Structure 1
Amino acid sequence: MVTTFLKRLKPLINVGYQQFNNGITPMNAATSYHLKNAVTGTNMANYAIDYTKVMFSDGDLPEAANVAVAATVAAKLDFSWDNDAPIGSTGGTDRATVLAYNVDKDKFTMLPSAAARSAEAYVLQLPPDWSGDTVHCWISFVNALGKEVSNSNYIGEFTVL
Structure 2
Amino acid sequence: MGKFEKGILGGFSGIVGPVVGATWRGMDILRSRPKRTHRVPTADQLLQQQKFKLAVQFLQPVRTIQSKYFGTGSGVKSRANLAVSYTIAEAIQVVAEVPELIFNKVLITRGELAGFQNATLATQVGAVLEMSWQDNSTQGNAKSNDAVSLVCYCKELKAFEIFEGIVLRSDLEAIVTLPNYCIGKTMEVYAFLNNEKETMASTSFYLGEHTVI
Matched residue type, 1:14: S
Instruction: Report the CA distance between 1:83 and its aligned residue.
Output: 2.1
Shifted more, 125-134 versus 137-146: the winner is 125-134
Choose which of 138, 142, 153 in structure 1 pairs with 2:190.
138
Check conservation: 1:13, 1:56, Cα contact below 8 A. yes
For 1:15 and 1:71, how far apart are their aligned partners in 2?
A: 29
Is the alpha carbon distance of 1:149 and 1:22 closer, same or farther for their aligned partners in structure 2, counting shifts above 3 Å? farther
Identify the residue that residue 3 of structure 1 maps to in structure 2: 56
Is the alpha carbon distance of 1:68 and 1:25 closer, same or farther for their aligned partners in structure 2, counting shifts above 3 Å? same
Identify the residue that residue 167 of structure 2 maps to in structure 1: 115
Choose which of 138, 151, 155 in structure 1 pairs with 2:203.
151
SS in 2 for 1:30: helix
For 1:97 and 1:16, how far apart are their aligned partners in 2?
A: 12
Q: TM-score, normalised by structure 2?
A: 0.71
Instruction: Report the CA distance between 1:87 and its aligned residue.
Output: 5.2
SS in 2 for 1:70: strand
Instruction: Report the CA distance between 1:86 and its aligned residue.
Output: 2.4
For 1:81 and 1:51, how far apart are their aligned partners in 2?
A: 21
Instruction: Report the CA distance between 1:18 and its aligned residue.
Output: 5.6
Q: TM-score, normalised by structure 1?
A: 0.92
Q: Deviations over 1:74-133 (max 9, x none)?
A: 111111112212257443111011011111111111111111000111111211011111
Q: How many percent of aligned residue pairs carry the same amino acid?
A: 22
Corresponding position: 1:70 with 2:122: yes
For 1:21 and 1:59, how far apart are their aligned partners in 2?
A: 15
Q: Deviations over 1:24-81 (max 9, x none)?
A: 21110100110110010167x4210000011011111111111111111211111111
Check conservation: 1:12, 1:112, Cα contact below 8 A. no
RMSD: 1.6
Is the alpha carbon distance of 1:86 and 1:23 closer, same or farther for their aligned partners in structure 2, counting shifts above 3 Å? farther
Q: Could you say which structure has the greater relative contact order, defined with CA pairs below 8 angstroms and 6 or more residues apart?
A: 1
Matched residue type, 1:135: M
For 1:116 and 1:19, how far apart are their aligned partners in 2?
A: 24
Q: Deviations over 1:115-152 (max 9, x none)?
A: 10001111112110111111110001000000011000
Matched residue type, 2:65: L
Q: How many residues align?
A: 160
**Runs (5+) with no aligned partner, structure 1:** none
**Runs (5+) with no aligned partner, structure 2:** 1-53
For 2:201 and 2:140, how far apart are their aligned partners in 1?
A: 17
For 1:154 and 1:33, how far apart are their aligned partners in 2?
A: 16
For 1:26 and 1:91, how far apart are their aligned partners in 2?
A: 24
For 2:173 and 2:75, how far apart are their aligned partners in 1?
A: 35
